[in-house]
Structure 1
Amino acid sequence: MSSGRGGRGGRGGNRHDSQPRTVLVSKALSRLLRHAAVQERIPIDNHGYVRIDHLLGWQRLRSMKPPVTFDEVVDVVQDNEKKRFALKYVTEEINPEHADVPTTTTEGAQAAAETEAETESETQRAISKFEALRSDNDIDTKKFVIRAMQGHSMKTVEAENLLTPITLDDEASIPDAVVHGTFYGAWEPILESGGLKPMSRNHVHFATGPSMEEVQQHTVPGETTKGGLGSVLGKNKVISGMRSDAQILIYIDIRRALIEEKEMKWWRSENGVILTEGVGEKDRIVPTKYFSAAYEIKEGIGKLWEDGKVVKELPENLRSRPLPRGKGAGGQRGRGRGGGRGQ
């Protein structure tokens, strides 16, 4: 995208905030589209879509100096490496009497069946439409809608409308690797609680790599792994569903979970993230019995868990390390970073 758009590369409204403006906008979008739309009284449908005119009218974006523009939103959608956002151009006329809900039912009902490439193409079509209308100075923001791909904590957003189910009936839907990235300070609380919990989110998030073979090749017992997860994934490689600073990788036996836990539903988001609500009537959880292995990937400790038990303990100096800002055991959101991960 052109770097000449208004506000691109500048700073946010807080003069003491050192983060680039694009990062601040991305974090604000994640906050609203994943967690805060209902609380902020911004209309959001059960597919997770918010109209752009409603988005730009949100106080947090209007209060940035200068106010956030549609141009900047498009930049963030296109430039985000993990493809966290999807943009759509709605061709139907929107009934003013029902303007609070985007009229995306025809296309939205098909969202679960779309592939990642198709979704990305739809976003690119919307961006192309935006560019064409922009050149004619004829943009109607009521006809564009945006959503977060996954990570929602709002119960009004229904998984069935956003995600593709993973089932034993569809072998192609089952990923070869299902991996949860976590941190030293969260490891023991995860084990003590009996597994991974969605916490404040609707789902526990997993990536589809790296494979255990890749981890074993790049982690040498007793040797610090320079670059951590980045060195395992390869130069400049980004993986959706896991933070790049993850210190421990937990591998899930998804086939066993699908066979034994009929009530534990598994899904794939349009940008490739694997999700589940877990199992349990009250406290949803992905039980430790489905942990096939766990590896420490930075300090040369290697395998921590195998065959349902701990095979190596974390040293005290690692166990006592504080969690990164905004994280909690099992994926809980912290108070820092505005309650949303953003970038």
Structure 2
Amino acid sequence: STSLSRKLTKLLRHSAKQRGLHIRPDGFVQLSEVLSLPEFRGLGIEQVRQIVAADNKQRYSLNEDHSDGVLIRANQGHSIQSLDEEAMFSKIVGQDQLPACVVHGTYMSSWPSIKEQGLLRMKRTHVHMAKGLPRENGVISGMRGSCEVVIHIDIRAAMAAGIEFYESANGVILSSEVPPRFFISAVHRKTGTDLLASAAGSAATGQVG
């Protein structure tokens, strides 16, 4: 159910350690430990398989071939700080691995600070980016469908400047930060206005006056 999926996401991304679960550097925990918690008691592995398979953003990975038993993890979105990003994600190391498009979705309320400070990871371990807009061909996760502003990022220039990028198992592009100088555009989804161009135009007008 949606309620169980939300609880599972919260546990695997944020509260596994404080709930006493043994979480590996790659983010996996033993499913038996998860199912021993009160909110998941009575849940069986088949129901967990259904939750994992039904998740349209592919938030989870299930490993049923491990010697320690069945393991489960959230693919990204963690705030747990002790995880090893090299073990969890694929590091993007070459230009040939770069997606054609990288975008970050946000809201108008957040845009003023993002415009000045860039994209920061805040309480999460990474900034999340998508390879395209929600529901575009092959785009599963990385951006909320309700986002009001889409920031297009020059990932090639950012990588050339030394910023590291990773890709999660469900295709989300991750980084510790993206400074605003690597923003190509910031398009308001409803109006189509490029907020970056508008800001630059306003600044130029102000300087002339």
Q: Fold match, TM over 0.5?
A: yes
Maintained 8 Å contact 1:25/1:73:
no
Query: Cα 1:254–1:72, aligned 2, differ >3 Å: closer, same or farther?
Result: same
Q: Which has the larger radius of gyration?
A: 1
SS of corresponding position for 1:205:
strand
Using the TM superposition, give the Cα deviation of residue 152 of structure 1 relative to its aligned residue in structure 2, in angstroms. 1.1
Say whether the 8 Å CA contact 1:149–1:270 is kept in structure 2: yes
Give the unaligned 5+ runs of structure 2: 204-209
Alignment TM-score, normalising by the size of structure 1: 0.55
Question: What's 1:270 paired with?
Answer: 169
Q: Which residue of 1 aligns with 2:152?
A: 251
Offset at residue 58 of structure 1 (A): 1.7
Residue in 1 aligned with 2:186? 294
Query: Are 2:124 and 1:205 aligned?
Result: no
Q: Give the conservation status (yes or no) of the 8 Å contact 1:203–1:276.
A: yes
Query: Whose strand proportion is higher, 1 or 2?
Result: 2
Asked if the contact 1:49–1:145 (Cα under 8 Å) also holds between the matched residues in 2, the reply is yes
Instruction: Give distance in 1, aligned partners of 2:27 and 2:201.
Output: 42
Q: Could you tell me the TM-score, scaled by structure 2's length?
A: 0.89
Supply the distance in 1 between the matched residues of 2:171 and 2:197 (Cα, whole angstroms): 26
Aligned pairs (5 A) from 1:85-164 = 85-92=60-67, 94=68, 143-164=69-90
SS of corresponding position for 2:23: coil
Equivalent residue runs for 1:190-339 within 5 Å: 190-192=114-116, 194-210=117-133, 233=136, 239-260=140-161, 262=162, 264-278=163-177, 286-298=178-190, 300-306=191-197, 310-311=200-201
Identical aligned residues as a percent: 34
User: Conserved in 1, the CA contact under 8 Å of 2:139 and 2:171?
Assistant: no
Task: Name the structure 2 match of 1:174.
Answer: 98
Shift of 1:186: 1.1
SS at match of 1:258: helix
Distance across 2 between alignment mates of 1:269 and 1:77: 16
Aligned residues: 203
> Does the CA contact (< 8 Å) of 1:35 and 1:154 recur in 2?
yes
Distance 1:200 1:91, change over 3 A: closer
CA distance in structure 1 between the aligned counterparts of 2:2 and 2:115, rounded to whole angstroms: 34
Q: 1:74 aligns with which of 49, 58, 65?
A: 49
User: 1:292–1:306: 8 Å Cα contact kept in structure 2?
Assistant: no
Distance 1:185 1:161 in 2: 35
d(CA) in 1 for partners of 2:113 and 2:201?
A: 17
Extract unaligned runs of 5+ from structure 1: 1-21, 95-142, 211-228, 279-285, 314-343
In the TM superposition, residue 189 of structure 1 has moved relative to its aligned partner by 2.4
Q: 1:304 touches 1:311 (CA, 8 Å); kept in 2?
A: no
Q: Give me the whole-angstrom Cα distance separating, in 2, the residues matched to 1:43 and 1:73.
A: 19
Question: What SS does the corresponding residue of 1:184 show, helix, strand or coil?
Answer: coil
